[in-house]
Amino acid sequence: MLKRFVKSTLITGGLETARIVKMAGLMKAARGRGAIFTLHHVRPKQDRAFDPNAHLEVTPQFLDTAIATLKREGYRFIALEDLAEALGSDDPAPLAVFTLDDGYRNNLEHAAPVFTRHGVPFTVFATRGFIERSHGLWWETLADFLEANDRIAFDFGNAPETVPTDTGARKQAAFDRFADYVNGRDEAEAVAAIDAAARAAGIEPLTITEKLTLDADGLKTLIANPLASLGAHTVSHRMLARLSDDAARSELENSSAAIEAITGRQPKTLAYPYGFSWAVSERDRLLARELGLTIAVTTQPGTLFAGQELTALPRISLNGHFQKAAYVGALASGIPFRMMRTG
């Protein structure tokens, strides 16, 4: 999931500034050695009355445009696993690395054909609990739950209450409140409470998991494509930094084992769930390295440079709200984010 706290207006402001900077010819210096891109859903736009996860979704056409734009700007496309070697090479071309989180079915159906047409490698980070249909995706469960109901009953920790969700704004406010609730308490307990509330309203979280994500057979089909690789994305998709040492280790070990069962070899790559700065600790980076997950990506925005810490790599999200060719080069440069951080 993408950092939902990033304000669209700030991004837009940054992008407009970035285009001016580009005209001044500074873009090339700013883009460093290239960028790792984050995608989630890649599918034709669906019309939804309430769509709180729209930023996590781009169309196949936009992915095609993004790749074409990067090609025109001279980027070299490599697999994430080859990053260390590529960063050490003398080739001056900036690098572009594509990654897709969570293991959605549409990655096989809609993204793989675009990558194949362009000969671009890509890595899918699959979540064991989704592969095995043992865990829900709470942000998807909530989207369906809130879309279908004009009011919901929930206990956020004070007392049972009825929350009005009869308008788009109220549904979004409830969604944000649930996101804070998940962030603010034991994540497994919070998600279990959301799942129970959804079930009481006739929405089955594990049916959503099955509808949206690839199982082991689907992932095997995906990696029959020589451009595709699989990486680990934990078992339960909880923030690692908030888990005990044993729980964090078990999340990484058991997710690696699930990927190995599918591919026949131990994965080398990992995407930390959520990937925000507070979702990943130094302990988690050490654990990843210890378990052979030598290349690990966050969702903290930034570009690539030589000598970078390979178990805390920044990524740039291709965001569903900004599906224009003009944004791709600007995003890849990292300029908008640098301006956001200082502004």
Dihedral sign of CA atoms 97, 101, 105, 106 in order: negative
Pick the closer one to Zn ion by CB: 154 or 272: 272
Looking at beta carbons only, is 27 or 101 nearer to Zn ion?
101
Q: 281: exposed, middle or buried (C-beta count within 10 Å: 0-12, 13-18, 19+)?
A: middle
| Nearer to Zn ion among residue 101 and residue 140 (C-beta) | 101
Count of residues touching Zn ion (by CB under 5 A): 2
End-to-end CA distance of the chain: 24
* Minimum CB–partner distance for residue 95 and Zn ion (Å): 23
- In the complex, residue closest to Zn ion by CB: 101
Nearer to Zn ion, 18 or 80 (CB): 80
Quote the least distance from Cβ 137 to Zn ion, whole Å. 8
Least separation in angstroms between CB 299 and Zn ion = 9
Which listed residue (57, 102, 144, 195) binds Zn ion by CB under 5 A?
102
Binding segment (CB under 5 A) for Zn ion, from list 68-76, 95-103, 213-221, 307-315: 95-103
Q: Which residues of 179-218 are buried (b: 16+ CB within 10 A; e: fewer)?
A: bebbeeeebeebbebbbebbeeeebebbebbeebbbbeeb
Please, which residue, 57 or 149, has the CB nearer to Zn ion?
57
Contact flags string 111-140 toward Zn ion, x per CB under 5 A: ------------------------------
Instruction: CB nearer to Zn ion: give 51 or 101.
Output: 101
Is residue 187 a contact point for Zn ion (CB under 5 A)? no
* Residues 6+ away with beta carbon under 8 Å from 98: 36, 37, 39, 77, 115, 120, 121, 122, 123
Output 213 or 303, the one with its CB closest to Zn ion. 213
Could you identify the residue written with the tokens 């990937």?
275
Residues with Cβ within 8 Å of residue 13, at least 6 apart in sequence: 339
Segment contacting Zn ion by CB under 5 A, of 82-90, 99-107, 158-166, 179-187: 99-107
Q: Which of residues 29-68 bind Zn ion (CB under 5 A)?
A: none
Which of 101, 140, 144, 195 binds Zn ion (CB under 5 A)? It is 101
Helix then strand count (H, E) for the chain reads: 16, 12
- The answer to whether 229 and 122 are in contact (CB under 8 A) is yes
Q: Residue 28's CB: how many other CB atoms inside 10 A? A: 12
DSSP 130: H
The residue ranges that bind Zn ion (CB under 5 A) are: 101-102
